[in-house]
Amino acid sequence: MSIAFIDLKKQFNVLEKDIRSAVDRVFEHAQFIMGPEVIQLEQELAKFAGVKHAIGCSSGTDALLLPLLAYEVGPGDAIFTTPFTFIATAEVISLLGATPVFVDIDAKTYNIDPELLKEAVERVSGEGRLRPRGIIPVDLFGLPADYDPIMTVAQDHDLFVLEDAAQGFGGAYFGRPAGSLSHAASTSFFPAKPLGCYGDGGAIFTNDDSLTEKMRSLLVHGQGINKYDNVRVGINGRLDTIQAAILLVKLAAFPDELKERQRVADRYTEGLRNHLETPIIPEGHTSSWAQYSVQSDHREALQNSLKESGIPTAIYYPKPLHLQDAFVNLGHQTGDFPISEAASRRIFSLPMHPYLTNEQIDSITNLILKNLRNKE
């Protein structure tokens, strides 16, 4: 049995003809930077997410950095986020000289806990050492964070909210698409994300006209009326035309793929829920199923036995961000965020992609059940 963790080759087999001709068209018109595909993709992404503006950019990380630059985040600012995420979420905060203030997650959803967020914002406000500026909730594993209470905290303290939808794009919260759930949102088109390209790429979403104008300038070296008029210090953060051409084909297939991801998740949950801690999707939430993550006391044994049968698994995340060397200056220690730490010790992710067959899912499930029975 050969099962891929994320099967990009299978997806390519299905979309090959359209992808090849889309890329060929770019070779022919030769507008490799900001070509017509970039403009078209931005329009289609905005429509998909139900927002006014989508801006293509060079990675999910730059898609986080650009809004923070536009909000003029810098030294002395506190940005609240989760320690149970990929490094990029908090890295961009530190890169700008601001301070990431970590807030523990909800044990069931793995997303930032709105109650703890409220406490953290009030604590930092009261201390008066840092100025609370913004919140970056992460839609972990594809599940949108709990935006209603998060937006209430933001409103009460005049903070911006930047949705890290690198994993969540394609999901929804009470009928509203991921990407539209706060003041601005970022996603990643890294190949393994639910909507991935064939290299690095990302996008920003917002309804805010003036923020958009600023981000479009920052995206191209802080340009003003033209390339050689520079009104602020920016970056080169553009999405390239070839990636946009590929993404247009993949975006067209994305709604069907999301249905298939839901099928895979439902079948895993059906088979495993009485034996492992399977994902919990709260009412009104729709996941894009970037990952299917479970918790078990027997993680190592299960991963090993799956590996022996040719089934890859992965751990997201083995070490929460507050315990990473990169953030040692924040002075955290083990025990500071116990829910994230507990999750990091027991969690692992099973193969998840739209092209997994029911037979493959069942064989993975059966292997896990057999292994667990041997433990009893």
As measured in angstroms, the least distance from the Cβ of 315 to ligand PLP is: 14
Give yes or no for residue 219 binding ligand PLP (CB under 6 A).
Answer: no
- Minimum distance between the CB of residue 48 and ligand PLP, rounded to whole angstroms? 18
Stretch touching ligand PLP by CB under 6 A, among 115-123, 164-172, 351-359, 368-376: 164-172
Q: How far is the CB of 187 from ligand PLP (least distance, A)?
A: 8
Q: Closer to ligand PLP by CB, 323 or 361: give it.
A: 323
Nearer to ligand PLP, 321 or 339 (CB): 321
Q: Smaller CB distance to ligand PLP: residue 104 or 164?
A: 164
Q: For ligand PLP, which is the closer residue by CB, 315 or 367?
A: 315
One of 109, 167, 340, 371 touching ligand PLP (CB under 6 A): 167
Write down the least CB distance from residue 155 to ligand PLP, Å.
24
Binder of ligand PLP out of 188, 206, 340, 365 (CB under 6 A) = 188
Least separation, in Å, of the C-beta of 65 and ligand PLP?
Answer: 9
Nearest distance, CB of residue 194 and ligand PLP, angstroms:
10
Among 68, 121, 166, 242, the residue binding ligand PLP under the rule CB under 6 A is 166
Does 60 sit near ligand PLP (CB under 6 A)?
yes
User: Which candidate, 295, 337, 293, 346, places its Cα nearest to that of 318?
Assistant: 346
Residue 55 makes contact with ligand PLP by CB under 6 A: no
> How far is CA 320 from its chain centroid?
16
Q: Shortest approach of ligand PLP to residue 197 CB, angstroms?
A: 10
> Which amino acid is it at 42?
E
Among 106, 113, 163, 164, binds ligand PLP (CB under 6 A): 164
The full 3-state SS of the chain, as one line of letters, equals: CCCCCCCHHHHHHHHHHHHHHHHHHHHHHCCCECCHHHHHHHHHHHHHHCCCEEEEECCHHHHHHHHHHHCCCCCCEEEEECCCCCCHHHHHHHHCCCEEEECCECCCCCCECHHHHHHHHHHHHHHCCCEEEEEECECHHHCCCCHHHHHHHHHHHCCEEEEECCCCCCCEECCEECCCCCCEEEEECCCCCCCCCCCCCEEEEECCHHHHHHHHHHHECCECCCCCCECCCCCECCCEHHHHHHHHHHHHHHHHHHHHHHHHHHHHHHHHCCCCECCCCCCCEECCCCCEEEECCCHHHHHHHHHHCCCCCECCCCCCHHHCHHHHHHCCCCCCCHHHHHHHHHEEEECCCCCCCHHHHHHHHHHHHHHHHHHC
Q: Is 340 in the site for ligand PLP (CB under 6 A)?
A: no
Which position's Cβ is nearest ligand PLP? 60
Q: Which is nearer to ligand PLP, 109 or 360 (CB)?
A: 109
Residue 206 contacts residue 212 (beta carbons within 8 Å): yes
Q: Which of residues 88-107 bind ligand PLP (CB under 6 A)?
A: 88-89
Residue 28, classified by CB atoms within 10 Å of its CB into exposed (0-12), middle (13-18) or buried (19+), is exposed
Q: What mask, x for binding ligand PLP by CB under 6 A, covers residues 114 to 133?
A: --------------------
Alpha-carbon gap, residue 135 to 58, rounded angstroms? 23
Piece of 70-78, 119-127, 160-168, 320-328 that binds ligand PLP (CB under 6 A):
160-168
The answer to whether residue 109 forms part of the interface with ligand PLP (CB under 6 A) is no
Q: Which of residues 267-326 bind ligand PLP (CB under 6 A)?
A: none
Q: Which residues bind ligand PLP (CB under 6 A)?
A: 59-61, 85-86, 88-89, 138, 164, 166-167, 188, 190, 200, 202
